[in-house]
């Protein structure tokens, strides 16, 4: 799907498959003197009780009188002013209203929302058009027909600003789609080796440095926690390192760490059979890191970025790690593995230790880490944990601006005390209470030497039920945060 900015000239003469106009209550007027025909149709629809201009309401008329467009789609904005959440709902409604239509070329018009359209249209239309087809036959009858979306602008001076905003939004959406496609793949397709190949392909397309470490190198690094999780699987583990160098060599990089458990049975502490198929999504953190790199590589900001992805399966078997085993992490700390289903923190802790060598400006790890976070926050906010107030605030604001929210959760010794054990430096689980917090406390032990934050995306990375599938979160949050570190206009 292509997106562009187009100048608003003679609206009545505009030939398009669908003209989408956003209108306010009361009076359901679009607020443009050039749009008398639109206001007339809106008034007629309101009089007939077919359209009231409420937020997200839509009305479609074919062959509208006074317009050259084949169809007119009215989208309600409710009463002015409209905040960004309202604009998002309206744009999503517009994208949805076009689904049953055969419109290939679409023009969008808003009197006072050109910037909002530029920021939101790629994600809303991209989400409406998304179809998973990697392991199934496409369904042409259900395909989204829109091929090009043109945002009409009345202000020639703003064209460059709108074009830049649209480009940023398109880049983020490309990252979201890569993330969704990866996470939706079955685990027999999306193996650790496949994640490595995707990273290498991304590197070739965008000139990103990619290094893939295999078992020999991982053993040499003494990543005992990662190796322990991997030892029950026949799929070879991988440790993937990506580097985007957009700033000077002396500029400290930001580091993203993504949990890459391509399938999680729970190991010897095996999960219940029901919904275990959803554990293919347990590499969503890794997918989000790759998606963020896709977006950043397209945008080319002046920053340095490192991505670290420990990738493995977590399987039961004769060689699998057992409850009660003690392993030595890369940091030298010993870990008693009381529950083999708490494997994400084990592979992440070695990656966090590896991150020290980059002397990072910040480190953010991303993981579908705990079911407890779903209980705490549901599927609305990702869980945010950090001892650094400034870093946490930047991530919170970035999430809000990107419509990809997170919620800060506590840390502290009172919670970490539950990880004490007689048989190692630390246990990998505490009691059932505050499970997402104690998991973050475990990770904090391995991130003492730099600014660090942890995002638990267990409740936001995918949806179950009728809408089952990956969401692509938190790519928008991560990209907004990273851009905000170097570009004043994007500062969270």
Q: Kindly report the pTM of this predicted structure.
A: 0.96
Model confidence at 59, in pLDDT bands (50, 70, 90)?
A: very high
Over range 357-370, report the average pLDDT: 98
Above 70 in pLDDT, residue 204? yes
pLDDT of residue 488: 66
pLDDT of residue 233: 98
Q: Are 432 and 452 in contact (CB under 8 A)?
A: no
Q: How far is the C-alpha of 200 from the C-alpha of 240, rounded, in Å? A: 9
Residue corresponding to tokens 């027909």:
145
- Percent pLDDT > 90 in the chain is 90
Which domains are present in the chain? Answer: 2-154 (3.40.220.10), 173-486 (3.40.630.10)
Over range 217-241, report the average pLDDT: 98
Above 90 in pLDDT, residue 26? no
- Clarify whether 136 is annotated catalytic: no
pLDDT digits (tens, 9 = 90+) for 372-430: 999 999 999 999 999 999 999 999 999 999 999 999 999 999 999 999 999 999 999 99
Above 60 in pLDDT, residue 284? yes
Above 60 in pLDDT, residue 491? no
Q: Are 346 and 225 in contact (CB under 8 A)?
A: yes
Catalytic residue among 61, 345, 445, 451: 345
Model confidence at 487, in pLDDT bands (50, 70, 90)?
A: confident
Q: Tell me the H-state helices in 23-131.
A: 36-47, 84-97, 114-129
Q: Are 261 and 342 in contact (CB under 8 A)?
A: no
Query: Nearest 5°: phi and psi at 391?
Result: -65, -45
Question: What is the residue-averaged pLDDT of the chain?
Answer: 95
- Clarify whether 154 is annotated catalytic: no
Residue corresponding to tokens 């890459």:
260
Above 90 in pLDDT, residue 138? no
Taken in order 358, 362, 368, 373, the sign of the CA dihedral is positive
Whole-angstrom CA distances from 273 to 121, 279, 281, 317, 468 are 40, 11, 15, 17, 17
pLDDT of residue 139: 84
Catalytic residue among 145, 271, 298, 468: 271
Q: How far is the C-alpha of 289 from the C-alpha of 287, rounded, in Å? A: 5
Q: Tell me the H-state helices in 261-327.
A: 284-299
pLDDT of residue 489: 58
pLDDT digits (tens, 9 = 90+) for 169-198: 999 999 999 999 999 999 999 999 999 999
Over range 432-440, report the average pLDDT: 97
Find all residues with CB under 8 Å of 376, minimum gap 6, and list them. Answer: 383, 409, 436
Model confidence at 459, in pLDDT bands (50, 70, 90)?
A: very high
């Amino acid at each position: 799907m292509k997106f562009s900015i187009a100048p608003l000239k003679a609206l009545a003469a505009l030939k398009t498959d669908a003209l989408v106009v956003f209108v306010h209550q009361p009076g359901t007027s679009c607020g443009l003197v050039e749009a008398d025909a639109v206001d007339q149709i809106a008034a007629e629809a309101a009089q007939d009780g077919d359209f009231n201009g409420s937020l997200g309401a839509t009305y479609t008329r074919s062959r509208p009188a006074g317009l050259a467009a084949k169809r007119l789609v009215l989208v309600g904005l409710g009463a002015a002013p409209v905040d960004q959440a309202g604009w998002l709902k309206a744009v999503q409604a517009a994208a949805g209203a076009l689904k049953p239509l055969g419109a290939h070329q679409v023009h969008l018009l808003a009197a006072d929302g050109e910037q909002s359209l530029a920021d939101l249209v790629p994600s809303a239309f991209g989400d409406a058009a998304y179809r998973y087809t990697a392991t199934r036959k496409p369904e042409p009858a259900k395909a989204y027909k829109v091929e090009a979306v043109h945002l009409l602008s009345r202000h020639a001076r703003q064209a460059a600003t709108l074009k830049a905003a649209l480009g940023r939004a398109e880049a983020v959406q490309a990252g979201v789609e890569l993330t969704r496609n990866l996470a939706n793949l079955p685990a027999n397709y999306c193996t650790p080796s496949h994640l490595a190949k995707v990273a290498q392909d991304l590197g070739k397309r965008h000139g990103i440095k990619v290094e893939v470490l295999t078992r020999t190198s991982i053993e040499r690094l003494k990543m005992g926690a990662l190796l322990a999780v991997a030892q029950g699987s026949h799929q070879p583990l991988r440790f993937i390192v990506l580097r985007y160098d957009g700033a000077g060599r002396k500029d400290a990089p930001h580091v993203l760490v993504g949990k890459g458990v391509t399938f999680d049975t729970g190991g010897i502490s095996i999960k219940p059979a029901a919904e275990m198929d959803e554990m293919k999504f347990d590499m969503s953190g890794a997918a989000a890191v790759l998606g963020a790199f896709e977006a950043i590589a397209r945008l080319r900001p002046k920053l340095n970025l490192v991505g670290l992805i420990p990738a493995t399966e977590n399987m039961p078997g004769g060689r699998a790690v057992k409850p009660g085993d003690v392993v030595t992490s890369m940091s030298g700390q010993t870990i008693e593995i009381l529950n083999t289903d708490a494997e994400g923190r084990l592979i992440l802790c070695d990656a966090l230790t590896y991150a020290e060598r980059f002397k990072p400006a910040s480190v953010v790890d991303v993981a579908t880490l705990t079911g407890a976070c779903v209980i705490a926050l549901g599927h609305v906010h990702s869980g945010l944990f950090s001892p650094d107030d400034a870093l946490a605030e930047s991530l919170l604001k970035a999430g809000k601006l990107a419509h990809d929210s997170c919620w800060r959760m506590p840390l502290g010794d009172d919670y970490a005390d539950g990880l004490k054990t007689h048989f190692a430096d630390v246990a990998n689980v505490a009691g059932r209470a505050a499970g997402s917090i104690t998991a973050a406390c475990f990770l904090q032990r391995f991130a003492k030497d730099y600014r660090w934050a942890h995002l638990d995306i267990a409740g936001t990375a995918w949806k179950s039920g009728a809408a089952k599938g990956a969401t692509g979160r938190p790519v928008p949050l991560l990209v907004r945060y990273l851009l905000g570190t170097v570009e004043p206009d994007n500062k969270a």
